[in-house]
Structure 1
Amino acid sequence: MKALFPRGLRARLALAFSLLSVILALALLGTVERRAVGQLERQIGAGLADLAVQASDKLERGMFERYREVALIADRPSLADPAYDNARLTRTLRRVQETYSYYEWIGVAGIDGKVKATGNGLLVGADVSKRPWFRQGLEGGYVGDVHEAVLLAKLLPAQAEPRRFVDVAFPYVDAAGKVQGVLGAHVSWNWAREVARSVVDANARSAPLDALILDAGGRVLLGPPDLADRVLDLESVRRARTGADARRGQHLVERWPDGRDYVVGYQKGAGHANYPGLGWTVLVRQDVVYAYAPVRELRSHVLWSGAALAALFSLVGIWVARSITRPLARLAGAATDLRKGGATPIATGPDDYAEIRALGRALNALVSDLEARRGQLLGLNGRLEELVDARTRELRRALETVQASEARIRAIVETAQDAFIGVDLKGRIVDWNGQAELLLGWRREEAIGHDLGDLVRLDQLREAAGGALGDFAGGVQAGHERRVERVVADRHGVEIPVEMSTGLTGQGEAAVFSIFLRDITERKRIERMKNEFVGTVSHELRTPLTSIRASLALLADGALGSLPPDVLELVEICNSNCIRLNRLVDDMLDIQKIEAGMMSFVPVLQPLLPLAREAIRTMRGMAGAAGVALELAVDPNDEGLQARFDHDRMTQVLVNLLSNAIRIAPADTSVVVTLAPHADGASLSVADSGPGIAPALRERVFQPFVQIGERGSAPAGGTGLGLAICKRIVEEHGGSIAIGDAPGGGALFTITLPA
């Protein structure tokens, strides 16, 4: 294909101009042809539609004349005049029938249905009371659709085609207006044939043309013999019958039962004047071969004109291509000389067009510039070799530095006191130090290249490491640097408590996930001993404290008689400190139970509003003594909020929060308890008007034995264990507790519980 395509610019331009000329000529002629052909086809169709309109109008007007003639005869007073005998009626009707040859039969029937007189003497005395024209003629003007002769078939002279009539009937009345009988007429259908022939013959001289008359049901009343009495289901019939086209005289192209396509004009009759019409449809059809013969002639003429015009444009294009490429060929020869090493300037003539002269000047300037740049390039090549040599030496030194750094890091990892495991982002182990061998029992050569999940036997560590890997792969790196406690198993299945920290070194595919494990078996043992000691001491202190508290209460209440004021004051001081010490012991026991997992919880799905009301009722006395009001804020729509919690434990939490808020709130202020819905359940908040808690201290207040005063300035009293116990209880419920700023100042403690 490429071999056949011209290589020279001249040939390509000539081909392009020729193709463009042909395309433009074809496009122009195609547009003209489409418009002309469309207009001509519409004119041909409109002509057939006009013929259908003419034929329909003639039929309707002709039937109107027959309708009016019979009506005028029926209005003659002589028909009902008793003095006007049957013989005179017969003569009158004969003159009518002789005058209008299209009346095959016209007669008068009395009120009893017996024929009294006819124009041709047929059916006189016959009973026509059962005939539709008589029955409906008694009620008023009647026109019956085309039908074959019944009573007259054997009486009238024979003809080639069956006789068909259109019945017209009117009642005649006497002077008093009483109906005396019916005047009926059978109009010959040959009259309609003459109407159709008069329309078709005048327009079918050059090509065959068919006219068809259909009744209201689509049955062919008049038309080609092969379609006689057939019901046609055609689009033209449906449009004419249903009135799809409200305009008069429409046309279309459609395929008929004989398998041929016709251009069809159609029109449905609608009566004329007071004649109601019978719903006849006139179709005028012509085979598309004959109808569109002028269209084919027009297309042939357009095609030959287009070919001639395209040839003319092609010759013009070839001449233009030669004019354009002649100066370019001269420039191409000069450029070839330059490529072979010559430096001869490119000459352009004054007769060349402006673009060629500009191109020549540009090429001459380019040659001069190339000569200058050639000298520069030789100099640059020398300098580039020097730069490459210098960069090579720098890279060698950088590589030595990286290798030394890697050796130092390796030495640090190997001498570290913690076990170190390096894992790539696919979960495969890439590093394993000596402490990892000692801790987990796997040698380095056994671990390298294996999946972390194959060697780490405990699901807890496997899930933690896997989740961190997923976060790092997704770009989430925050929070993995802190230390967390886990339990792992060595290759023999022995469980070892460890403290784990994770981090990511490197970027992209070369990134390594670092895991440090520190054996905390000894620390856990010491913590257990501490917890056991605290629990034992707390239990041993509770019994004597209870006795001391009871004895002091009896003394303060005067059980041994009234005490001097100074002694009573000392007893009350002792009693209050005993109560504080007892609360400290209770808090220490609660902390010890929670850490040991011995505190029982029975979460139940229940409303939060009773819990809040009970806690407020419990702390109302303390609040009143401190001059602080307790308020419950809940939206009426949220009064039915529910959460899953242990009622006693959550009461302990809420009472503790209220106690802290009452202690810190200034007098004549309010502590507000709020209930609100939450995405995962419900939230319960306690807000005071105190100094609040600085953001930097909000995590510390939940640690045991930590007390924060006004913005961290001074302790606020208490044991320092209450908030730590509250946090542990809420977290055991699957919830959370957080500190924020209350509206208008103060601290806001928010508890979130699951539903």
Structure 2
Amino acid sequence: MPQPPLRVFLALGLGTVGLVATLVLALVASRVASQRLEARIEAELADVAGMMAGRLDRGLFERWRDIVILAENDTIRDPAAPLARKRRVLWRAQETYPDYAIIGLVGVDGRIQATSTGALEGAEAGHREYFTNGRHSPFVGDVHDVVLLATIDPHHDPADPPRVLDIAAPVRDDAGQLVGVVSGHLDWAWARAAEASLRETTGTPRDLAIMVLARDGTVLLGPEGLRRTRVPAELPSVAGARDGRSGTETETWPDGRRYLTGFRPTRGYRDFPGLGWTVLVRQDAGTAFASVTDLRRQILLWGLVVATVAAGIGWFAAGLLARPLRRLAIAASALGRGEAVTVPGSAVREAQAISHALTAAARALAREEEERRAADARQDLLIHELNHRVKNTLATVQSMARQTARSAASLADFTGSFEARLLAMSQTHNVLTANHWEGAGLSGILSAELEPYAGGRADRIRLEGPPVSLTPAVALPLGMAIHELATNAAKYGALSAEAGQVAVEWSLEGRAGTGTLVLRWRESGGPAVVPPSRTGFGTRLIRASLERELAGEVALHYAEGGLVCRIAVPLAVSAQTARTEAA
């Protein structure tokens, strides 16, 4: 029986080893990559659930605070105030916050004295939960249908009554005696608007369902077919949220389909305790993990391709190794028969070829090592830069806390001022993070800082100027300065009055990127301006951050018609500052 040639043994061995190694590596890479991709997808769903829960909690806190503040209005607290004046106060509150379906004042006898629309006045409300609970302390009731509102609002279908949340607070006179209850009925469309805003902000796909569950599991917000139904408490996501946990679960719902579900319980905000809601964000598991399946398929496919190529290379390599041996064997056989032969010098050439191949491989490894060292150096630089930014931020927060404490009249004053300044810093950080800390647009920073003061009015805040990109070194101090100006305007200046306005105009002097940014802050329509008798922390913060850190100029003019502040920042200096900090 003839024995197979050496080439067959070598080809089979090299091909098999290459095939098995390639397939194993492909499987391992597929598993690792798939796990990381699945973890990222799960984290994204959990983040959406967390953002929705946070928006609901903060939104209800703000509306709850509206009613509490309204209960302290002098006209509302005065039993002798004319009905028309009370109705006007209620209407202004609803006009300011149009999410309310109606706002009313209920007397101590349980009858509605005045409402924002004039409807339902004189109706009996003494048996309502918001009245019985709101007599003693601020109260927020869960979502429920209001048939009575459907009968007075022509835009509502009586067969599908509006859904509202009741928010109430006691009204007491100067002697502390109860004179009534202020109640606001928040239209549930407010939650749908919050969902739409979240989808627009995060780019959430439409097939991803966002649901809000009441304490008993009833779907308050979600897909049309699930609204007003009750989600089983046995679902792992619902059970986890009731235990106070957040995360994701892959689970089977009552419709028999598998879903990836992110969950987060609402926990309230500040002194608002919350309503015990659960936020679920679910997506069909096949759709959610479609990219994972596709990744696995591609890795395995390419693994098979590489393995096939490796087998072919093995066959070719076996031929290169066997051919010189076969020639030497022929020459040796000829010599054994006494024939004159010339021994081929192919062995030297093969060795030389192998040397060339090893040299090329060594050069390739050297290039890879050089690239790896360069990557390590870049990583070290990024780590040093991150450490430096964190230290700078902590130093800024420490200084801000110390200076705020010096100027605060009380602990509550310190807490409010410090939290507001931290929020202003975080707003600028958010804009910079969205641009990977490579820069931020001046218009974006101004909008982030001033939007909360606009009150939904387009004429309240006016921004005008050319597009300007700022480095992080100038964006953070400028954002803090704008926050201090806005806070001062809201407390004492134009934004403290209903007709007050703020105009922010800016321009560039010199060449783009190396010239000077000139920004002018002008207030109008507010109370008469009185120059301060002493320099407050806000003014010191503005001058320290812009004049000392950025070599800029700040000029404050306390005109009687409104404060005017002119800021000039040399952009070339800010860029140099950024390079110095990075070092």
TM-score by length of 2: 0.53
Structure 2 match to 1:225 = 224
Deviation per CA, 1:629-676: give whole Å up to 9, x if none: xxxxxxxxxxxxxxxxxxxxxxxxxxxxxxxxxxxxxxxxxxxxxxxx
Deviation per CA, 1:605-625: give whole Å up to 9, x if none: xxxxxxxxxxxxxxxxxxxxx
The offset of 1:332, in angstroms, is: 9.7
Alignment of 1:370-409 (within 5 A): none
Structure 1 match to 2:241 = 240
- The DSSP-based 3-state class of the residue aligned with 1:139 is coil
The offset of 1:129, in angstroms, is: 1.4
- The DSSP-based 3-state class of the residue aligned with 1:94 is helix
Structure 2 match to 1:149 = 146
Deviation per CA, 1:42-66: give whole Å up to 9, x if none: 2222222222122111111111110
- C-alpha distance in structure 1 between counterparts of 2:108 and 2:74, whole Å: 16
- 1:173 is the counterpart of 2:172: yes
Aligned counterpart in structure 1 of residue 20 of structure 2, from 3, 23, 37: 23
Deviation per CA, 1:558-593: give whole Å up to 9, x if none: xxxxxxxxxxxxxxxxxxxxxxxxxxxxxxxxxxxx
- C-alpha distance in structure 2 between counterparts of 1:180 and 1:152, whole Å: 25
- 1:47 is the counterpart of 2:44: yes
1:138 partner letter: R
Change (3 A) 1:330 1:167: same
The share of aligned pairs that are identical, in percent, is 40
- C-alpha distance in structure 2 between counterparts of 1:49 and 1:255, whole Å: 18
Task: Verify the 8 A CA contact 2:75 2:85 in the aligned structure 1.
Answer: no
Structure 1 match to 2:193 = 194
Task: Verify the 8 A CA contact 1:200 1:210 in the aligned structure 2.
Answer: no
The offset of 1:176, in angstroms, is: 0.9
Structure 2 match to 1:76 = 73
- The DSSP-based 3-state class of the residue aligned with 1:125 is coil
2:20 partner letter: I
The offset of 1:106, in angstroms, is: 1.2
Task: Verify the 8 A CA contact 2:105 2:181 in the aligned structure 1.
Answer: yes
- C-alpha distance in structure 2 between counterparts of 1:157 and 1:329, whole Å: 99
Task: Verify the 8 A CA contact 1:134 1:169 in the aligned structure 2.
Answer: yes
- C-alpha distance in structure 1 between counterparts of 2:4 and 2:217, whole Å: 69
- The DSSP-based 3-state class of the residue aligned with 1:153 is helix
Change (3 A) 1:130 1:31: same
Task: Verify the 8 A CA contact 1:147 1:166 in the aligned structure 2.
Answer: yes
- C-alpha distance in structure 2 between counterparts of 1:149 and 1:207, whole Å: 30
Structure 1 match to 2:89 = 92
Structure 2 match to 1:162 = 161
Alignment of 1:667-706 (within 5 A): none
- C-alpha distance in structure 1 between counterparts of 2:134 and 2:300, whole Å: 65
Structure 1 match to 2:313 = 316
Aligned counterpart in structure 2 of residue 109 of structure 1, from 99, 106, 110: 106
Deviation per CA, 1:275-332: give whole Å up to 9, x if none: 1111122222222333233324433432332233212211221133335555777999
Structure 1 match to 2:183 = 184
- C-alpha distance in structure 2 between counterparts of 1:284 and 1:211, whole Å: 5
Alignment of 1:245-644 (within 5 A): 245=246, 250-325=247-322
The offset of 1:222, in angstroms, is: 0.6
- The DSSP-based 3-state class of the residue aligned with 1:154 is helix
- The DSSP-based 3-state class of the residue aligned with 1:53 is helix
1:243 partner letter: G
| RMSD of aligned alpha carbons | 3.3
The number of equivalent residue pairs is: 341
Deviation per CA, 1:245-297: give whole Å up to 9, x if none: 4xxxx223222222222222222111111111111222222223332333244
- C-alpha distance in structure 2 between counterparts of 1:166 and 1:313, whole Å: 68
Deviation per CA, 1:685-727: give whole Å up to 9, x if none: xxxxxxxxxxxxxxxxxxxxxxxxxxxxxxxxxxxxxxxxxxx
- The DSSP-based 3-state class of the residue aligned with 1:227 is coil
Task: Verify the 8 A CA contact 1:153 1:163 in the aligned structure 2.
Answer: yes
- C-alpha distance in structure 2 between counterparts of 1:220 and 1:207, whole Å: 18
Change (3 A) 1:244 1:350: farther
- The DSSP-based 3-state class of the residue aligned with 1:78 is helix
Task: Verify the 8 A CA contact 2:149 2:161 in the aligned structure 1.
Answer: no
Deviation per CA, 1:379-417: give whole Å up to 9, x if none: xxxxxxxxxxxxxxxxxxxxxxxxxxxxxxxxxxxxxxx
Structure 2 portions without partners, runs of 5+: 348-583
Structure 2 match to 1:33 = 30
The offset of 1:192, in angstroms, is: 0.5
- 1:64 is the counterpart of 2:35: no
The offset of 1:104, in angstroms, is: 0.9
1:217 partner letter: D
Change (3 A) 1:243 1:343: farther
Structure 1 match to 2:493 = none
Task: Verify the 8 A CA contact 1:29 1:306 in the aligned structure 2.
Answer: yes
Task: Verify the 8 A CA contact 1:264 1:284 in the aligned structure 2.
Answer: yes
Deviation per CA, 1:718-750: give whole Å up to 9, x if none: xxxxxxxxxxxxxxxxxxxxxxxxxxxxxxxxx
1:30 partner letter: L
Change (3 A) 1:58 1:310: same
- The DSSP-based 3-state class of the residue aligned with 1:152 is helix
- C-alpha distance in structure 1 between counterparts of 2:24 and 2:219, whole Å: 46
Higher-Rg structure is: 1
Change (3 A) 1:282 1:244: closer
Task: Verify the 8 A CA contact 1:207 1:290 in the aligned structure 2.
Answer: no
- 1:118 is the counterpart of 2:115: yes
Task: Verify the 8 A CA contact 1:200 1:209 in the aligned structure 2.
Answer: no
The offset of 1:143, in angstroms, is: 0.5
- The DSSP-based 3-state class of the residue aligned with 1:159 is coil
- C-alpha distance in structure 2 between counterparts of 1:190 and 1:242, whole Å: 29
- C-alpha distance in structure 1 between counterparts of 2:177 and 2:202, whole Å: 51
- C-alpha distance in structure 1 between counterparts of 2:68 and 2:245, whole Å: 34
Alignment of 1:640-659 (within 5 A): none
Structure 1 portions without partners, runs of 5+: 354-755
